[in-house]
Structure 1
Amino acid sequence: MKKENIKILFERYLEGKTNQEEEKIVLDYLADQTNENSEFHQVMEKVWDKQAKKTDHSAEAEQGLVQIWAKVEEREPKSHPLYAIFKYAAAIVVIISAALAWYTYQKVQKPAQIAITYFTKTTLKGEKVKLILPDSSIVYLSAGSKLIWPSRFQKGNHRNIRLEGEAFFEVKRDTTSPFVVHSGQMQTQVLGTSFNIYAYPQDHTFSVAVRTGKVSVSANSQGKMKQLSLLTPGMKLFYYLNKHNYSVGTERITDINSWIKNSFVFKDASLPNILKSLERYYNVNIELQSNQLSKCRFNATFSNKSINDVMEEIHIMSGKHIKYKIDTNTKTITVWGKGCQ
């Protein structure tokens, strides 16, 4: 039989597709070809010389070897007399060697994919944490927020993470792997910069403020992401989720991440929104008992103050029209009044 036909038959043997007569042809041929000067022996030596010197004891390798032995045992001739055992032993060794060489080659050509797992960090009211991502980017996660990120980022692909709540990012620059923050229907993309995202779903307002670099902000429009604006340092974008529109303004660079150092800045903010933020920052429950106070708006900065001091400042800023009561046992603050000054 021609060598080409033997090769085809050998491949069929390893796949378990040969019949008893074809098996005998393969084994007889290989048994005759296993001396040191044979063409087949020389080919096998070259194959093994290319393999790693260190034995692979991984679980994957062990499983591969088990499968190879099972295949050989399954295809091994059962009816040969004792005198033929030694003849066919060499052929069986060749089959094992060829199969192992093929397995190792496949492993080199198609390296095993490292599984990607995802981590989630959720902060409680009154809690903030600093996180370091796999690419060495830094995230400061604010109170009542959740961040989801992968165990590793793939070079050349987007570095995708998800955020609910507020966080300040210091992103390591990588022009080949854009850093993308997904927040509901909003998407913020950068290459390397620092910026703050405010994205609490229940507040219905999304904002991005840039401290350094450039930031692209997009929104989902009829199933497609549409870029809203390209922000530079000192710029801040507000997106109103219910109205599906946005505005762009400015903010002092030093105020953008001031909350990290317990300094809370509010610009033309409504009283209900201020109270929501204070609930998260100070881990308290605030009950607003007057609809008239919803129209009150303030510009205020509270730096390293207790919640008692903050409530007293709001009381004074309103011309003492806003009243409050703090229950320290239940950590509840009741707010009422007839309006603002």
Structure 2
Amino acid sequence: MSQTNQQKALKKILKSSLNGKLDEEKQNAIDLWYNQLGAETLPILPLENPEQQAQLERSIKNGLNQKALSKLEKRSAKIQLNYIKYAAIFFFCLILGIQGYHFFNTDKRLAKAVTYSSNRTAAKLVTLKDGSKVLLNVSSQITIDKDFGVKDRRITLTGEAFFDIAKDKRKPFVIHTGKIDTKVLGTSFNINAYPDRDKIKIGVITGKVSVLDRKSAKQLAYKMTSGTTLSYYIKNSKTVLRDEDLSLISAWKDNRLFIDNATIVEIRSQLERYYHVKVVLHNKVHNGKRYTIHFDKDPANRVMQILSMLTKRKFIYQTNQIIIK
């Protein structure tokens, strides 16, 4: 074979090697020859001069190096891509696992009821997370159930409050007051449940309100409408329904004094809340009489005079206290 044909044949074999088209036996022979390049015992293929031999050697080395580097880069890129893919899957599963754990396994004891209170001298407005508004009269408090808004909206009231409830047909709003529950979907109403009174009174301003016995779940009133009041007497569980003047149901909101079928002891407590002073009752004997009257922001001395005539007692207004003789 001529030298020119040998060069062509060699170039063809090397090109096939670089393109990965040689069979295993020929490729092994090329690899062995490449690894022995530069050794003294390696027979150099006959070329025209040493410069051509060196140039061919450099060409072979560069070609094989590029091929090897290309394979390594492809393998590295594939490994890196797989690593990123599996890492993303791992972290995605980890995040789902953490969220699932907190959602399904959060200790319910961590959820706590929240209480809001008004002091003895000022009312307090509370806006609940569902948008409902509760205006607490003085010396009153509400406790928001720890599960408020999950299946329903439950709170407990002590004292007096005016409610403006956001509508939510799927989650009824329920107010616990002693032995009874007041249930609404979205309406406005007033509840008086001071512990020093012998009754709980609910008055509807707008919408519809139902009242149930808390223990037996018996309906005491079903869908009371505007202007209707329910008085629940604690000692004998007696219930009285009647229509009343809307302006009196929540008169305290407008700083008006409404004494509603109250005993002399209950009047004392109401005056303390209204005037924010101590009321001293000298004779606590209860004669069974009850009194109803309302005042439209009258001066304190005028109120004392009228109460004295109404009850046949002596009401005296002083700087820091009221005395009932």
TM over 0.5: yes
Deviations 1:158-202 (A, max 9, x none): 111111000000001110111111112221110000011111123
| 2:228 is aligned with 1:235 | yes
1:335 alignment counterpart: 324
The one-letter code matched in structure 1 to 2:85 is E
Pairwise mapping of residues 215-254 of structure 1 onto structure 2 (< 5 A)?
215-221=209-215, 224-230=216-222, 231-254=224-247
User: Against the structure 1 CA distance between its residues 46 and 142, is the aligned structure 2 distance closer, same or farther, given a 3 Å change threshold?
Assistant: same
Identical counterparts, % of pairs: 29
User: Against the structure 1 CA distance between its residues 47 and 247, is the aligned structure 2 distance closer, same or farther, given a 3 Å change threshold?
Assistant: farther
Q: Partner of 1:172: helix, strand, or coil?
A: coil
1:326 alignment counterpart: 317
Give 1:102 deviation, angstroms. Answer: 2.8
Give 1:43 deviation, angstroms. Answer: 9.7
Give 1:287 deviation, angstroms. Answer: 2.6
1:45 alignment counterpart: 85
Matched length: 246
Deviations 1:73-92 (A, max 9, x none): xxxxxxxxxxxxxxxxxxxx
CA distance in 1, matches of 2:198, 2:292: 20
CA distance in 2, matches of 1:186, 1:36: 72
| 2:309 is aligned with 1:316 | yes
User: Against the structure 1 CA distance between its residues 161 and 293, is the aligned structure 2 distance closer, same or farther, given a 3 Å change threshold?
Assistant: closer
Pairwise mapping of residues 172-321 of structure 1 onto structure 2 (< 5 A)?
172-221=166-215, 224-230=216-222, 231-290=224-283, 294-318=287-311, 321=312
Give 1:257 deviation, angstroms. Answer: 1.4
Greater gyration radius: 2
Which of these residues, 126, 149, 153, is aligned with residue 154 of structure 1?
149
CA distance in 2, matches of 1:245, 1:255: 22
The one-letter code matched in structure 2 to 1:126 is T
Give 1:267 deviation, angstroms. Answer: 4.0
CA distance in 1, matches of 2:94, 2:174: 39
Give 1:291 deviation, angstroms. Answer: 5.2
2:53 alignment counterpart: none
Which of these residues, 98, 105, 129, is aligned with residue 124 of structure 2?
129
Structure 1 window deviating more from structure 2 (162-171 vs 231-240): it is 231-240
Deviations 1:86-127 (A, max 9, x none): xxxxxxxxxxx74x3431232455564696444322222232
User: Against the structure 1 CA distance between its residues 293 and 305, is the aligned structure 2 distance closer, same or farther, given a 3 Å change threshold?
Assistant: farther
The one-letter code matched in structure 1 to 2:140 is S
Give 1:218 deviation, angstroms. Answer: 1.3
CA distance in 2, matches of 1:307, 1:167: 24
Q: Partner of 1:322: helix, strand, or coil?
A: coil
CA distance in 2, matches of 1:183, 1:129: 19
TM-score by length of 1: 0.63
2:94 alignment counterpart: 103
User: Against the structure 1 CA distance between its residues 239 and 166, is the aligned structure 2 distance closer, same or farther, given a 3 Å change threshold?
Assistant: same
TM-score by length of 2: 0.66
User: Against the structure 1 CA distance between its residues 271 and 152, is the aligned structure 2 distance closer, same or farther, given a 3 Å change threshold?
Assistant: same
CA distance in 2, matches of 1:266, 1:141: 18
User: Against the structure 1 CA distance between its residues 316 and 200, is the aligned structure 2 distance closer, same or farther, given a 3 Å change threshold?
Assistant: same
User: Against the structure 1 CA distance between its residues 153 and 35, is the aligned structure 2 distance closer, same or farther, given a 3 Å change threshold?
Assistant: farther
Given that residues 135 and 152 in structure 1 are in contact (C-alpha distance below 8 angstroms), is that contact kept between their aligned partners in structure 2?
no
User: Against the structure 1 CA distance between its residues 248 and 110, is the aligned structure 2 distance closer, same or farther, given a 3 Å change threshold?
Assistant: same
Q: Which has the higher contact order (CA 8 A, sep 6+)?
A: 1
CA distance in 1, matches of 2:100, 2:116: 37
Given that residues 116 and 126 in structure 2 are in contact (C-alpha distance below 8 angstroms), is that contact kept between their aligned partners in structure 1?
no
CA distance in 2, matches of 1:276, 1:176: 39
Given that residues 117 and 124 in structure 2 are in contact (C-alpha distance below 8 angstroms), is that contact kept between their aligned partners in structure 1?
no
Q: Partner of 2:235: helix, strand, or coil?
A: coil
Structure 1 window deviating more from structure 2 (181-190 vs 272-281): it is 272-281
Question: Considering only aligned residues, what root-mean-square deviation do their CA atoms show, in Å?
Answer: 3.0
Given that residues 265 and 284 in structure 2 are in contact (C-alpha distance below 8 angstroms), is that contact kept between their aligned partners in structure 1?
no
Give 1:317 deviation, angstroms. Answer: 3.3
CA distance in 1, matches of 2:159, 2:293: 21
The one-letter code matched in structure 1 to 2:252 is W
Which of these residues, 112, 115, 122, is aligned with residue 120 of structure 1?
115
Given that residues 196 and 208 in structure 1 are in contact (C-alpha distance below 8 angstroms), is that contact kept between their aligned partners in structure 2?
yes
